[in-house]
Structure 1
């Protein structure tokens, strides 16, 4: 009888700890959402920053050179004929151009004369999502900017103001998911209350993952990036062990100067051409807590987390978009069952 009572008491204590963590998690999410609603998109901008805006009449080849010379991977587009913001140029747009010309090799000789305002034609021709034109006013709540990013699945959102005197739009800056999440991690102490592990949060993708090997041709990986609408592909060995990751921005290094022959390289060969500034692959386990993940974002510049097991085998991928979406969810809603991290692997 005494043993039974002791077990019952321990069970109550265990449940109480779970209840405390669950309650703190909900309170933490509500506090973060209140923080986002109390700040504007403008508040996230650093004291000093550089903004590069490209005209849509610019040649695609020249735009790529400009991005690489300035060490950036995206830029707002401006239509000088209408004096309006025309969308956001990213690595995905260059990948779409590659897809278009490999599907239409007879038009490859025209690539030198292709301009940015022709990207719409490329999108329609290969059947991909159109150029993202979502934006937000700089003095709107940061929460609104986050909602728009999640709804559009965009990783960046331009801040667009309006000059009433000149009756024209003004591109002020561009916010990224990383900059927003780092701002939250640095300034909202309630992120420490997010003590539930990934496995309990239904965050990320754990099944039907896109992967490649070091011997996979880069062109095959590009096809995967477009077909599956992803920004990166984990690189595994024959046993499923994580070796590296190949990102859409890596493709830009191979078409430097408008030369497309290097796309025939293997992933392993292409990775060797990376800049020394590449920060490596950030990994975690499904036991890592959201508070530690937010602390990692505060300290390190990362774009995603690759979820692995204790043997370094791939289990899933968690993007910054996944994390941002989670922070915006209804804290009082009943969480959906987490996906099986081993399913379909």
Structure 2
């Protein structure tokens, strides 16, 4: 699967190669970059359509991935892709039909859910390539933009 992280790595490769021009990117094909990025490639993690919601969630968390393709075992075709967002939406839509554990009434802070330390940020004058590097190096998908006082802008 081609991910945003892969695309960022492609852009980094062009940026860090003085002999390459960004215009060349228009002529490249995905097969070229599969070869270039092969050393950084992670194995494809997938599940079958008969797997449980629990197995899907466990796979996403255990493998630290955001997207989980569901593969037809007979054809090898991707049937659909499960994401954290889709699972949360499903749980929200069906929350009234599910047993409600008391933990749902606790605050996020009390349950220590979230990133509380070392939150990566950027300033408005941060170079794009620096922001892209932060995405890849810190394995994050969002970067709060803050002013000189650390306030979100």
Identify the TM-score tier after normalising by the shorter chain. Answer: 0.7 to 0.9
Q: Which residue of 2 aligns with 1:169?
A: 76
Q: Could you list the runs of 5+ residues in structure 1 that have no partner in the other structure?
A: 1-87, 244-345
Q: Could you list the runs of 5+ residues in structure 2 that have no partner in the other structure?
A: none
Q: Which residue of 1 aligns with 2:25?
A: 111
State which structure, 1 or 2, has the greater radius of gyration over its C-alpha atoms: 1
After superposition, where does 1:152-301 map in structure 2 within 5 Å?
152-163=63-74, 168-189=75-96, 190-191=99-100, 193=102, 194-243=104-153
C-alpha separation in 2, matches of 1:90 and 1:228: 16
Question: How many residue pairs get matched?
Answer: 148
Compared CA separation, residues 228 and 202, structure 1 to 2 (3 A): same
Following superposition, the deviation at residue 114 of structure 1 comes to: 2.7
- 1:141 equivalenced with 2:48 (yes/no): no
1:238-297 CA-to-partner distances (Å, cap 9, x unmatched) read 111112xxxxxxxxxxxxxxxxxxxxxxxxxxxxxxxxxxxxxxxxxxxxxxxxxxxxxx
C-alpha separation in 2, matches of 1:172 and 1:224: 33
Q: Once superposed, which parts of structure 1, at least 4 consecutive aligned residues long, lie more than 6 Å away?
A: none
C-alpha separation in 2, matches of 1:185 and 1:134: 26
Compared CA separation, residues 141 and 122, structure 1 to 2 (3 A): same
Following superposition, the deviation at residue 120 of structure 1 comes to: 4.8
C-alpha separation in 2, matches of 1:191 and 1:90: 35
Q: Which residue of 2 aligns with 1:89?
A: 2
1:80-128 CA-to-partner distances (Å, cap 9, x unmatched) read xxxxxxxx2221111010111112231446534432233352253xxx5
C-alpha separation in 1, matches of 2:136 and 2:144: 15
Contact preservation (8 Å) 1:161, 1:170: yes
Q: Flag the structure with more relative contact order, 1 or 2, with Cα contacts below 8 A and sequence separation at least 6.
A: 1
* TM-score relative to the length of structure 2: 0.85
Cα RMSD (Å) of the superposition? 2.0
C-alpha separation in 2, matches of 1:113 and 1:195: 53
Compared CA separation, residues 220 and 191, structure 1 to 2 (3 A): farther
User: Which structure is higher in strand share?
Assistant: 1
Contact preservation (8 Å) 1:158, 1:173: yes
**What SS does the aligned partner of 1:174 have?**
strand
Contact preservation (8 Å) 1:100, 1:122: no
**What SS does the aligned partner of 2:45 have?**
coil
Q: Which residue of 2 aligns with 1:319?
A: none
C-alpha separation in 1, matches of 2:125 and 2:116: 24
Contact preservation (8 Å) 1:211, 1:236: yes
